[in-house]
Structure 1
Amino acid sequence: MHTNEAALAAAKSHPDRLTAFCGVDPRVTTTNPKRYGHVAGAKGLTEILQRFKAEGARGLGEHKVGLPFDHPQMMQLYEACDLVELPILFHLDDLRGIDTPGLPRLENALKAFPKLPLIGHACGFWSSISGDATNEDFGRYPKPPKPITPGGALDRLMDACPNLYCDLSEPGGAIALTRDPPFARGFVQRRADRLLFGSDYLRPGQQIPQFEILAAMNLPGDVQYKIYRGNAIRLLKLEGR
């Protein structure tokens, strides 16, 4: 794990290779703004995020907090990110960023802040690619092969909410792309404008099966470019880098 300051410093040292996000727990408060430079609530969160953005942060995440996804404190953080114009990369399951089948809590946030990009991953998020996702699926990764039932919450919300994006990283993304290959290839092609390649965290020897999975799909060149680079460049305003 890295502090915000360490991540921002690394990005400044290697601007051609790294782009930093910041992390803020929405439960942070203080009664001593003179010392800490911020106050509680949406106003305080906005001040914190403005400071990180001025230091080079391009987004907030991974947002992984043990509260319901639309808890009032979470919504305050989304409000602050909306004001500061920082997209959010979030984790959603049955313990952190908590939601239930159909993703009603995520839907509340998406519709409350329609200009705020929300980029999702983890087992609760990716299990919702299928219309038969259960509460149990929100706490575990399915074992491929497992057919995807049409009518999943992801397709429904991506139709209704243009601010919803998908992060293909970690086991959730890999499993979503391999549990039902014909469905997954169609999903990737029709949602190509809002899919982002990711590795989750990186460590020595880490396996990243997404490279091989996407290559095996034999996707058109323009779709590959969007997923690997183009969408991130547009979303994080990295043009010219």
Structure 2
Amino acid sequence: MAENESTPEYDCRDYFKEAVCIDAMRIYDSCSDKDCLEDIRVLFPAARQPLVDSATNVRIRDVSVITVYIDLQPIPFNKGFYSVDMTFFFDVSLDLFGGPTSCPVPVNGVSIFNKKVILYGSEGNVKMYSSDRCIDDVDPQDCKVLPKATVQVAEPVALSAKLCDHPVCGCEPYCRIPECICQRYGDNFECCQCKNTVYATIGLFIIVQIVRNVQMLIPAYDFCIPEKECVTSSDNPCELFRRIEFPTNEFFPPRATDLGDGGRCCK
């Protein structure tokens, strides 16, 4: 018979010094989602729309998130639950083609996507005041202790784009873009009177959380004292270059037998 190995018992008091109360954001509810945003409209600044109208084909290059607007509202007759309305603004990089032998013309536009989820955020009927608030800036609504919604977004995946010939484009309600984003592109966006429209397909990964400020008791081990000394950077570029290791792998790519799976990709 195998010998029974006994695990030594440790007194937790030997590891942490004291129990301290901290003020932290606790996650009450969360969800993750994987969305394929198929054929969402790409809007362009007015100065760039003529390039789109004269194009015969389009190719997507990259997609990035500009910002996400979040609106948190309690759900009536369902205490503790909140609806999280999210508006995603994407910067879409495209290549426009005017003919079979023409060079691609890079252009950037904006796509908008709306999403709503319902999460549990618990209840709180107190108001919070702090000493860092100016008396002239106090708003009674801001003092109510409501949960906070957060959205984490991974880098979007640029899947495809297509060019459609629409002689008459109606003004769509979602084409209203905030002024701060218009300033980023240097012009207002064209929603109507366009000859061609572009639609993109984007892969999106998100995590939505509802957090609330609470007081929690945790074990404290010690203060966070840095153990590494600060290294003064040098202005000499050659000295910085000498610290970089020689990139051996770049000159000698790994063989199939050096791979972890022995070079066998298919089973």
Q: What range describes the TM-score normalised by the shorter chain of this pair? A: under 0.3
Higher relative contact order (CA 8 A, sep 6+): 2
Q: Which has the higher helix share?
A: 1
Question: Quick check: which has more Rg, 1 or 2?
Answer: 2
Greater strand share, structure number? 2
- TM-score under structure 2 length normalisation: 0.16
